[in-house]
Structure 1
Amino acid sequence: MSVTTRVLLLHGALVALLLALNWLLPVYHHGNLARVMVLATYAMGYNLLFGYTGLLSLGHAMFFSAGMYGMALTVKHLGWTPAPAMLAGLVSGALLSLAVGALALRTAGVAFMIVTLMFAQAAFLTILYFGEWTNADDGLVLQRAERMLWGLDLTNDTTRYIAAWVLFSVCLGLSLWLVRSSFGKVLIAIRENEPRAQMLGYDTFRHKLAAVTASGTMSAAAGAAYGLLFGYAGASFAGVQYSILPLLWVLLGGFGTLIGPFIGTLFIFYLINITSGFTSAYMAVVGAVLIAVTLFARQGIGGELRARVWRWLP
């Protein structure tokens, strides 16, 4: 069996399993998994930049919230329906990531990380400053009538789950195509040795800018979908926490692997969900788990699977 066939079968099986779970899971886990799929899409966007290009960003919450507010503001203040509002969220994220990338990529290493964090904080403060439109800390609540997509009620559990599944499946397919393309191979070359990639004649700045834009746009798609499917857009989604979380999801799940973001998001979501029921110091438990992963599975769960079982895993 060829590598391509194995890759398609594995990721196709994951997509099929998630679809089947729509009819098998109890209500509580059904809703949780819908949320996990949207957040895993956000993690996939982050993974394109960190896992495949080697650029550590601490500001991805600005792209997630750009998509969320691009969608919510047009629905609330312009009366747009969900379809064009989702498009507005995508465009907002794409333009913001293009602008931020063009500026932040003038730096490298730790400086890039700090600059992205600064941009994210500026975006967070902008949301608070324009509280007349964004409703600041209280956020925007989308009513049921505002969440009707082509006649489908997104407040319905099954419809919401299928919508989250479609988003996750499409972004997984796009990520698979991207990382296996010549463009994706150049990104990996930049991650491994940028000076050598430049020596071979590749325009590394242009490739990195495209990676930032693709990553930001996918993150914005997740943000727009999250606001629409769960009916809320709040300033907290632009905070530092939502820039750190995708990094944790990708590190735990396996950076530079396609299934890693989903594994990490699912694991940490339920780890927080379960431990928060026993202690208010649940993040200390998450920290202990991450330390254990760093010590014993440095490539994350997906990376260890690739190293030990599926060496062909992209």
Structure 2
Amino acid sequence: MSGGARVIALHGGLIALLFVLQFVLPAYHHGNLARIMVLASYAVGYNILFGYTGLLSLGHALFFAAGMYGMGLGIQHLGLTPAPALVLGLVAGAVVSGGLALLALRTTGVAFMIVTLMFAQAGYLTILYFGEYTRGDEGFVIQQAQRVLWGIDLSDPGNRYFAALILFGSCLMLSLWLVRAPFGKVLVAIRENEERVRMLGYDIFAHKLLAMIISGTIAAAAGASYGLLFGYAGASFASVQYSIFPLLWVLLGGAGTVLGPFIGTLFMFYLIDLSSGVTTAYMLIAGVALVLLTLFAPQGLMGELRRRVWRGLP
């Protein structure tokens, strides 16, 4: 089997496995995995910007929340049905990420991190300020009757799982196609040596701009889907915590690997879930695990697999 066929088989095999698990998992893990797939889609978007382009953003919660509130407010205040509400969420994410990119990409390094963090905090405070519409910290519930897409009730656990799988499968395969395409290879080259890429005649700013818009739009798709599938939109999803989470998931799974975001999200989700059942200091356990992984698997779980076993793993 050729290298390309092995790559397709691996990623397609994961999607097939997730499809089969729908029929065998108990209810608790069935619901958890649906949530993990949506959050992993968010991490996939983050990985395009951080893992492949080398831009460390601390404000991705702004895009996740833009998608969530674009969808949620469209349903709550504009009377939209789920399909156009989801489109509104995607448009909101694309516009916000594009606008932020035009400003943030004028900086580099630590300055880029600070600018993205500042704008994310501004977005969070905006949600709180317009609490009359957003319900602030309390958030708002999207009713079951408002979560019917083309006659399919997305509050039903089975339908919700399949919707999450479609979202994750689409994001995963889009990421795989993107990083194997010439555009993706240029992004990796920018990450490795930006000046050399500029000398070869590529427009660095345009590539970074498009990478940030793609990353932000995928994050918005995850945010809109999360709100629709689980029936809630709240300001906590725009907080710094939700900007740090995708960074941790990507680092754990392996930055610059297509499967890394899913593996990292799955690992961290269940690490916190299991340790919280043992002690109230579950974040201490999570912190120790992160330190150990940083020491013994500095490239993340999939990154170490690529280094030690399969050099061609994308």
- The TM-score bracket by the shorter chain reads over 0.9
State the partner residue of 2:241.
241
State the partner residue of 1:2.
2
Number of aligned positions between the proteins: 314
Residue-by-residue CA offset, 1:65-110 (whole Å, 9 max, x unaligned): 0000000000000110000000000000000000000100000001
Q: Distance in 2 between matches of 1:309 and 1:86?
A: 40
1:112 CA drift (Å): 0.3
Task: Return the letter of the residue paired with 1:164.
Answer: A
Structure 2: runs of 5+ lacking an equivalent: none
Task: Return the letter of the residue paired with 1:24.
Answer: V
Task: Return the letter of the residue paired with 1:79.
Answer: G
Q: How does 1:69-88 map to 2 (within 5 A)?
A: 69-88=69-88
State the partner residue of 2:293.
293
Q: How does 1:251-262 map to 2 (within 5 A)?
A: 251-262=251-262
1:253 CA drift (Å): 0.4
CA RMSD of aligned residues (A): 0.6
Q: Distance in 2 between matches of 1:24 and 1:14?
A: 15
Q: Distance in 2 between matches of 1:281 and 1:112?
A: 33
State the partner residue of 1:59.
59
Residue-by-residue CA offset, 1:204-226 (whole Å, 9 max, x unaligned): 01100101000000000000000
1:161 CA drift (Å): 0.1
1:3 CA drift (Å): 1.3
Residue-by-residue CA offset, 1:153-185 (whole Å, 9 max, x unaligned): 011000000000000001111111110000000
Residue-by-residue CA offset, 1:222-262 (whole Å, 9 max, x unaligned): 00000000000000000000000000000000000000000
State the partner residue of 2:25.
25
SS at match of 2:107: coil
State the partner residue of 2:282.
282
Q: Distance in 1 between matches of 2:90 and 2:31?
A: 24
Matched, 1:198 2:192: no
State the partner residue of 1:139.
139
1:280 CA drift (Å): 2.0
Residue-by-residue CA offset, 1:120-156 (whole Å, 9 max, x unaligned): 0000000000000000011010011000000000110
| Comparing 276-285 and 240-249, the one that deviates more | 276-285
> What is the TM-score with the length of structure 2 in the denominator?
0.99
1:291 CA drift (Å): 0.9
> What is the TM-score with the length of structure 1 in the denominator?
0.99
State the partner residue of 1:227.
227
1:284 CA drift (Å): 1.5
Task: Return the letter of the residue paired with 1:283.
Answer: M
Structure 1: runs of 5+ lacking an equivalent: none
Task: Return the letter of the residue paired with 2:2.
Answer: S
1:23 CA drift (Å): 0.3
Task: Return the letter of the residue paired with 2:246.
Answer: P
Task: Return the letter of the residue paired with 2:29.
Answer: H
State the partner residue of 1:150.
150
State the partner residue of 2:303.
303
Percent identity between the aligned chains? 69
SS at match of 1:93: helix
Task: Return the letter of the residue paired with 1:196.
Answer: R
Task: Return the letter of the residue paired with 1:125.
Answer: L
